[in-house]
Structure 1
Amino acid sequence: MTATAEVSAEPSTDRESPGTGDPSGTTTAERLRLLIQPVLVLVVAGAVIFWAFNRQLTATQLENINPGNVATLIWQHLLITAAVTAIVLAIGIPLGVLVTRPGAKVLRPLFVGIANVGQAAPAIGLLVLLFLLTAQTGFWIGVLPIALYSLLPVLSSTILGIDQVDRSLLDAGLGQGMSRRSLLLRVELPLAVPYILAGLRTSLVLAVGTATLSFLVNAGGLGILIDTGYKLQDNVTLILGSVLAVCLALLVDWLGGLAEFFLSPKGLR
């Protein structure tokens, strides 16, 4: 019980440690936030769409501010985010597990260093470099640099989550005849889930924000509205694109919070 309490105290500062404060109160507050946040986001998004669509628009503005175009750009933005998330999960979690294994810990500085470079480098620089290296544009030229940029939170949180597992739990499992693989799947990863989900939530927000730059390599997204509004000094298009991008980031953050709340093991909530 002591080991579980120590692990559960780390992933989120908003939650009380077992045995202190009012856990039911923090759970209620978290549930209220999860209920209120999407409502506020949808209200703001709906309001800015109504404001933009019910104005006297010029012919140039109508080319950008119309239901079909806005829906397409939102869909492209969501596709970029989904692809980045899939790549980050497919690479970050297995890599994080690998470098916590006794025989592969020597590789940890290498992979963490690569992920650090990916996040330290400006996202726009990564996009331009991949474009220059491949001389191509399109969806994947926009997705891959953003995935590298968003990899570090999931990789580092996976490593941290597994490292925080009490060694006495592993010794007890080995003493009961469990294999290393069983320990990983039944003890280490379940206890690391809150950390991994917190890292994924950060990666998702990074991906949504950075995806606004994907228009530079013809990958689409809401950045097209922002860039068009800026170049044409069209505040309506600029505000519409900016607010929708912010709302999308908050909505994705809410989905990450939802996953963090419901997918964490019940004993660690």
Structure 2
Amino acid sequence: MNAILDALGWFTQSEQWTGSDGIPNRLLEHIWYSLLAFAITVVIALPLGLVLGHVRHGRLASVSGFLVMSSANAARALPTLGLLILAVILTSAGDLVPILIPLIALAVPPVLVNTYAGIQQVEPGLRDAAEGMGMRGSQVLLRLELPVALPLILLGLRTALIQIISTATIAAYVGLGGLGRYIVDGYSRQNYDSMAGGAILVILLAVLTQIVFAGLYRYAVSPGVRQRAAAS
């Protein structure tokens, strides 16, 4: 109990709220790393999952499914910290690039797999009906398959962003900022209050992400699709 009270007392210290090492600045740095990695992930994985999931017939469909699952499993097996160190050694493109590489590699699988699976799980009868109404392939994808698959896609996006927020603490290992500074610097100084404070802030940011996506799910997904997703 004393350890918890000491950690909470760390937040009441005035020096924690000002300067370059203050909570507002470190929080903004962490959010910047996280949102940048998330945006790049979405640009890469979401369109790829939509296109590959839309293909349902022929050899291309089976090859697409194999590539999605195998690449996702391979990416999940990558050691994040090891990949960060390797990126630092190999890249010379600025300090931010090494941290983005492992974060994106970690976040692509849930977005890619959930998008692909969501599109694939749309009932063939719905697609046949849409095509019978004269919709082209892109219209079927964007106006039918995407809205129906949206619950699973949002789940993948939420999982990816929470993983990025949690893992972005490793930015401190290569001299960058973010909430990981409290954990890494606190460990080196044996300042356990700082370590606990940094961990609490990361947890709160992850919880806030959950809340945001819960609201997004409620307002972006149609009631009929929500009921269908709840029933399944």
Show structure 1 runs of 5+ residues with no match.
1-46
Match of 2:44 in 1: 91
Distance, in Å, in 2 between the alignment partners of 1:95 and 1:135 is 28
After superposition, the Cα gap between the structure-2 partners of 1:53 and 1:180, relative to the gap in structure 1 and judged at 3 Å, is closer
Distance, in Å, in 2 between the alignment partners of 1:94 and 1:233 is 45
The residue identity in structure 2 corresponding to 1:185 is: L
Give the percent of matched residue pairs that are identical in Structure 1 and Structure 2. 33
Q: CA deviation at 1:266?
A: 2.6
Q: 2:28 touches 2:178 (CA, 8 Å); kept in 1?
A: yes
Distance, in Å, in 2 between the alignment partners of 1:86 and 1:180 is 26
Q: CA deviation at 1:135?
A: 4.5
Secondary structure (helix, strand or coil) at the match of 1:99 reads helix
1:248 aligns to 2:199 (yes or no): no
Please report the TM-score for the alignment, with normalisation by the length of structure 2: 0.85
Secondary structure (helix, strand or coil) at the match of 2:134 reads coil
Q: CA deviation at 1:160?
A: 1.0
Please report the TM-score for the alignment, with normalisation by the length of structure 1: 0.74
> Residues 138-185 of structure 1: CA distance to partner in whole angstroms, max 9, x if unpaired?
223212220111111111111111111110111111222211111111
Aligned partner of 1:72 among 14, 25, 30:
25
Q: CA deviation at 1:110?
A: 2.5
Aligned partner of 1:130 among 87, 92, 95:
87
The residue identity in structure 1 corresponding to 2:18 is: P
Distance, in Å, in 2 between the alignment partners of 1:128 and 1:95 is 28
Show structure 2 runs of 5+ residues with no match.
227-232
- Structure 1 segments (4+ residues) deviating >6 Å: 47-50
1:153 aligns to 2:110 (yes or no): yes
After superposition, the Cα gap between the structure-2 partners of 1:224 and 1:202, relative to the gap in structure 1 and judged at 3 Å, is same
Q: CA deviation at 1:217?
A: 2.3
Q: 2:118 touches 2:153 (CA, 8 Å); kept in 1?
A: yes
> Residues 1-46 of structure 1: CA distance to partner in whole angstroms, max 9, x if unpaired?
xxxxxxxxxxxxxxxxxxxxxxxxxxxxxxxxxxxxxxxxxxxxxx
Distance, in Å, in 2 between the alignment partners of 1:149 and 1:215 is 17
> Residues 117-141 of structure 1: CA distance to partner in whole angstroms, max 9, x if unpaired?
2222121122112112215652232
Distance, in Å, in 2 between the alignment partners of 1:149 and 1:260 is 23
Aligned partner of 2:10 among 25, 48, 52:
52
Match of 1:203 in 2: 160
Give the alignment of 1:111-190 within 5 angstroms.
111-135=68-92, 138-190=95-147
Match of 2:230 in 1: none
The residue identity in structure 2 corresponding to 1:88 is: T
Distance, in Å, in 2 between the alignment partners of 1:224 and 1:79 is 15
Match of 1:5 in 2: none
Q: 2:7 touches 2:194 (CA, 8 Å); kept in 1?
A: no
The residue identity in structure 1 corresponding to 2:79 is: P
Q: CA deviation at 1:67?
A: 2.4
Match of 2:229 in 1: none
Secondary structure (helix, strand or coil) at the match of 2:177 reads coil
Q: CA deviation at 1:219?
A: 3.1
After superposition, the Cα gap between the structure-2 partners of 1:118 and 1:222, relative to the gap in structure 1 and judged at 3 Å, is same
After superposition, the Cα gap between the structure-2 partners of 1:88 and 1:262, relative to the gap in structure 1 and judged at 3 Å, is same
Q: 1:150 touches 1:203 (CA, 8 Å); kept in 2?
A: yes
Q: 1:226 touches 1:242 (CA, 8 Å); kept in 2?
A: yes
Q: 1:48 touches 1:243 (CA, 8 Å); kept in 2?
A: no
